[in-house]
Structures are given as C-alpha cells and as structure tokens.
C-alpha cells in the first residue's frame, strides 16, 4: 500500500475498522489516533457522522506507528449513508 506505514509483520496489529473521523475536510488520507473514534459497525459509523461538526464515517486501517512515533490510521474509504 503506497503511502502507508506497513503493518507490524510480527502480529497483525493493523486492521481495518469502521470509525468516525473528526477532520476539517475529507481531503486527508491519514489521521492521528486522536482524530479517530473506532466503532463496531458501518451502521454505528454512519450514525455517528455529523457533517456540521466535521465528523465523517469511514473505514480506516490501523493503528500503525510512524517513524516519528505517532500513532496513525489510514483511510480505506469514506462511507456514505
């Protein structure tokens, strides 16, 4: 996956998750862990989305640790309800 920090090969730490992401716009492809709220299902992500409050439903890959020590999640897809 180009542009992504690879998952930890020793344990499968990075996985796909449904999430609600707090961002000013949907233009970014990676997010710090503080901007991502992992939820149980696609329906929960869509229910938690609120465009006015800049909360967007997404499928993300992570967590992954960057070379700077940041915990990151990567966008797989934005979800539309």
What integer pLDDT is reported at residue 36 of this predicted model? Answer: 97
Is 63:74 a contact under the CB 8 Å cutoff? Answer: no
Work out the pLDDT band at 18, boundaries 50, 70, 90.
very high
More confident of the two residues 2 and 43: 43
What does each C-alpha distance from 55 to 1, 10, 36, 60, 63 come to in angstroms? Answer: 25, 33, 9, 14, 19
| Residue 22: pLDDT over 90 | yes
pTM value? 0.82
Strands of the 36-39 sheet, one edge to the other: 30-32, 71-78, 55-65, 15-22, 36-39
> In whole angstroms, what is the distance from residue 22 CA to residue 46 CA?
13
Listed in sequence order, the DSSP H helices in 1-81 are 42-48
> In whole angstroms, what is the distance from residue 44 CA to residue 60 CA?
14
What integer pLDDT is reported at residue 56 of this predicted model? Answer: 97
Parse the chain into domains and list their residue ranges.
15-78
Tell me the per-residue pLDDT of 26-81, one tens digit each, with 9 for 90 and over.
888 999 999 999 999 999 999 999 999 999 999 999 998 888 888 999 999 999 97
């Amino acid at each position: 996956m180009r542009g992504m920090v690879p998952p930890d090969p020793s344990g499968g730490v990075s996985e796909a998750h449904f999430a609600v992401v707090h961002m000013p716009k949907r233009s970014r492809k990676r997010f710090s862990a503080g901007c991502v709220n992992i939820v149980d299902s696609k329906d929960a992500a869509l229910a938690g989305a609120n465009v006015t409050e800049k909360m967007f439903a997404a499928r993300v890959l992570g967590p992954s640790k960057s070379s700077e020590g940041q915990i990151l999640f990567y966008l797989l897809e934005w979800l539309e309800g």
